[in-house]
Amino acid sequence: MYDVKGRQQWNVPKPPPVEIRASKKRRSTVSASWEDGRIVVLVPSRLGTKERDAVVDELVQRLLRRAPMHHSDDLALGRRAEELADAYLDGIRASSIRWVGNQRKRWGSCSPSTREIRISDRLRPVPHFVLDAVLIHELAHLIEPSHSRRFRNLAARYPRMAEADTFLHGFSVGLEAAHERQAQLPSEVDRPADEPCGLASQGLLFDLAAQPWR
């Protein structure tokens, strides 16, 4: 996790499992992506153990730094919301905050009457400041249900709100494009075993020849 100023804290969620898949078809690229709650790293089978371990460790750490809440549970999400509320919204509290998989049109939702907040799991791979902005947005609705000037002033207390809005606009376009591409991909039966699937925004792809550990 990160503190409100973006500095890494010690209380990160438990690291996710990592699966390494070696392929003879791969020559010079290594990829890492999220898949069903674990990190899958695709490597060329020619790599020696020492080089492979260095590559895998580097890519896993980069994925975790880029989206530290990707593998978090509802408890970690709630703790992060409390940290943000204490910093920007006078310690306001929701009755519950949890990840949900049924919000495909919205990033988050708030029910002021029950004080429940739901965050779309599509946000798991985004940078920490973007998720923070969405949490602030929903927490602000506990104080002001409408999108009035008062609400905008509350949300604007988070200094990276405009930056996060810009990111989410591009991210939304990317999700739609990825969904269209996914619909055109061959079936799992026809797809090569080492071909990465899923959203490009959820993974990393590097050329081994260009990496500092070479």
Average pLDDT over residues 182-202: 40
- What domains can you pick out in the chain, each with its CATH number? 18-70+187-210 (no CATH), 74-174 (3.30.2010.10)
In the three-class reduction of DSSP (H, G, I as helix; E, B as strand; rest coil), residue 110 is classed as strand
Residue 35 or 127, more confident: 127
Residue 8 or 63, more confident: 63
Res. 191: pLDDT tops 50? no
Dist CA 197 CA 187 (whole Å): 11
Residue-wise pLDDT tens digits, 149-175:
999 999 999 999 999 999 888 887 766
Across 128-132, 151-155, 179-183, least confident range: 179-183
In the three-class reduction of DSSP (H, G, I as helix; E, B as strand; rest coil), residue 42 is classed as strand
Work out the pLDDT band at 122, boundaries 50, 70, 90. Answer: confident
Residue-wise pLDDT tens digits, 195-204:
332 333 345 4
Work out the pLDDT band at 118, boundaries 50, 70, 90. Answer: very high
Percentage of the chain lying above the pLDDT 70 cut: 71
Res. 2: pLDDT tops 60? no
- First vs last Cα of the chain: how many Å apart? 30
Dist CA 63 CA 66 (whole Å): 5
Percentage of the chain lying above the pLDDT 90 cut: 36
Amino acid 99 reads: W
